Structure 1
């Protein structure tokens, strides 16, 4: 009975941590846009700030707590960190090459990719309901991509799809490792920072009209969001972690509409609605199935 209670408590802990991270992530793109910076300047500055915040957080944990976990846990941690670095670059470039709505709708493919990765790498075969949801989402992404072809932002849509694939792979590897990866995406921020600095010719080439917004993003919002999201797989399944990326899918376009009056196109909105509907339905089914499985493991009274 104690094992069951502990398992349930850890699952709730994972859900709360990951939900908080997903909620914080919803204001990432609006803060990037508010800085009004040149693309590679934003990539370099945001990455450098996030890397600095990670070092401060890690030093604080070692100084004020008994936590002595390595900042990057072994070879798997190095792999995850490298993949996060690549994903950070592709995500930032997608921000500047497609609409926010298209970007987050395509990133919402994350749970489906996570399910496929779990099948290939961990042996967790997706249920028939997952395949149905995937089919619906493919239709939604096809509508968004066709709309992007007409609008001339196919590069941005492609980068968004690549980022979603990488994030799903990262979540699956982290889930298989079952170890704390909270600092991996934060340390990985040094990769886009260095790439951006090389491209703009050093710190002197940085163009940021409103750096305060980016400082809020890179020093506070992103470290908190990605630490929570990267810690989630230690306690809950990959598809469950990926589900909380949906908060950005739903809320980021709302913030962009309220702040910048950036409304999605008709086809983009239809495709996004199909994706979100399929994901919400699938996620609710998955959570229900998980709860039934946990309850079935609970010891029953003999009478």
Structure 2
């Protein structure tokens, strides 16, 4: 690896580390807002959407780039998936333990691999199949805890979030279109629905600063860094940094709210993280071997 490649690799590591760390604060900041579900969805989504438009206008004004907010029908469908996933994710946060949410949502890459197989006819490798089976077992353990603990709705919403995100990822993979702004612009959907509900039921967020800070700073920062990372790193390497939310979010919530995950959640989450780490490391080694064979 030459000096330029080393610099790009370090840049990618720095960006994805910042993005993963920023994303890990999403759930704690939402909970610090102490708001009602739809009021929180409305405030966070509206703030993210407005911030995105401002950033987009600044990019067009001061640079030569002309990024597209929603690239055609594929962008609209992906945006619909992202918008719905925002609502199911935040609803899951309100209906189950934080650890359950982030561990189950970590299944997204495997859902995406399954959809690639079913929709794009791209058969997963043997290592992907093995990782899927192990992760399904992990999710099953977590959801079984939800059945016992009475928060199965939140676990189901988390599974729905993972599936919706996987659908959006599959669309991007199939079309090869740049959709960097789509997840952020898609917040207009939950913002409008949230406004409609809040308009009749009333707005209730006791500490709005934390939700506004999350929507205006942490979410755009996280998605921009994690979307830029693949320019300098491989897909499996970037995927490793998404795990920062999976590992750190329950830690922050435990430190702030003293919410201790159940034994089933810890067991299932450990299986999920181990499978993801093992799969990512295997993919990175496989990529290095293929690269060395071409040289």
TM-score for both structures, normalised by structure 2: 0.91
The alignment status of 1:278 with 2:275, answered yes or no, reads: yes
- Separation in structure 1 between the aligned mates of residue 116 and residue 11 of structure 2, nearest angstrom: 22
Residue by residue over 1:67-108, the C-alpha shift from the partner in whole angstroms, topping out at 9 and shown as x without a partner, is: 112222222222211111011111110110010000111011
The alignment status of 1:291 with 2:291, answered yes or no, reads: no
Residue in 2 that maps onto 1:227: 224
C-alpha contact (below 8 Å) 1:171/1:242 kept by paired residues: no
Q: Which deviates more, 18-27 or 206-215?
A: 18-27
SS of 2:95 mapped into structure 1: coil
The alignment status of 1:144 with 2:142, answered yes or no, reads: yes
C-alpha contact (below 8 Å) 2:236/2:281 kept by paired residues: no
The alignment status of 1:254 with 2:245, answered yes or no, reads: no
- Pick closer, same or farther for the CA change 1:175–1:230 going to 2, 3 Å: farther
Q: How far did 1:296 drift?
A: 2.2
Q: How far did 1:61 drift?
A: 0.2
SS of 1:71 mapped into structure 2: coil
- Separation in structure 2 between the aligned mates of residue 10 and residue 171 of structure 1, nearest angstrom: 25
- Correspondence 1:1-303 to 2 at 5 A: 17-201=15-199, 205-231=202-228, 241-298=238-295
Q: How far did 1:51 drift?
A: 0.3
SS of 1:67 mapped into structure 2: coil
Q: Which runs of 5+ in 2 are unaligned?
A: none
Paired positions, count? 295
Q: Which deviates more, 167-176 or 211-220?
A: 167-176
- Separation in structure 1 between the aligned mates of residue 4 and residue 171 of structure 2, nearest angstrom: 24
C-alpha contact (below 8 Å) 2:68/2:181 kept by paired residues: no
- Pick closer, same or farther for the CA change 1:63–1:214 going to 2, 3 Å: same
C-alpha contact (below 8 Å) 2:134/2:275 kept by paired residues: yes
C-alpha contact (below 8 Å) 2:88/2:160 kept by paired residues: yes
- Separation in structure 2 between the aligned mates of residue 68 and residue 165 of structure 1, nearest angstrom: 31
- Pick closer, same or farther for the CA change 1:236–1:50 going to 2, 3 Å: same
Residue by residue over 1:112-155, the C-alpha shift from the partner in whole angstroms, topping out at 9 and shown as x without a partner, is: 11222233344442221221121111111111111101111111
C-alpha contact (below 8 Å) 1:13/1:235 kept by paired residues: yes
Residue by residue over 1:236-277, the C-alpha shift from the partner in whole angstroms, topping out at 9 and shown as x without a partner, is: 666655443211111101111111111100111111111111
C-alpha contact (below 8 Å) 2:234/2:284 kept by paired residues: no
C-alpha RMSD over aligned residues = 2.6
- Separation in structure 1 between the aligned mates of residue 145 and residue 41 of structure 2, nearest angstrom: 27
